[in-house]
Amino acid sequence: MEVIRAKQIAKSGKIVPVTYEGQQVMIQHVDEEREMARIYKKNRPEEEIEVPVRLLQEQ
């Protein structure tokens, strides 16, 4: 995924199907400079992690 698209999804407030390593995730925040996204798995919102935006896939 590209950084611009990840930022759009994060700001939209809508549920957009995005996966990381095959798991559905929600994007909390995107650091454009570092090209990193703070995400959490839909079934584990308490466990946020940072991952490279390029590893996210929009379904």
pTM above 0.85, yes or no: yes
Residue that the structure tokens 């929600």 belong to: 26
Range of the domain at 27: 3-58
Does residue 43 register a pLDDT over 90?
A: no
Which pLDDT belongs to residue 32?
A: 96
- Total tally of structural domains belonging to the chain: 1
How many other β-carbons are positioned within 10 Å of the β-carbon of residue 25? 22
The rounded distance, in Å, linking the Cα atoms of 19 and 57 is: 5
Q: Per-residue confidence at 19, pLDDT binned at 50, 70, 90?
A: very high
Q: Helix count (H) and strand count (E) of the chain?
A: 1, 5
Does residue 16 register a pLDDT over 90?
A: yes
- The candidate with the shortest Cα–Cα distance to 21, out of 56, 46, 58, is 56
The predicted model gives 43-54 an average pLDDT of: 94
The predicted model gives 23-51 an average pLDDT of: 95
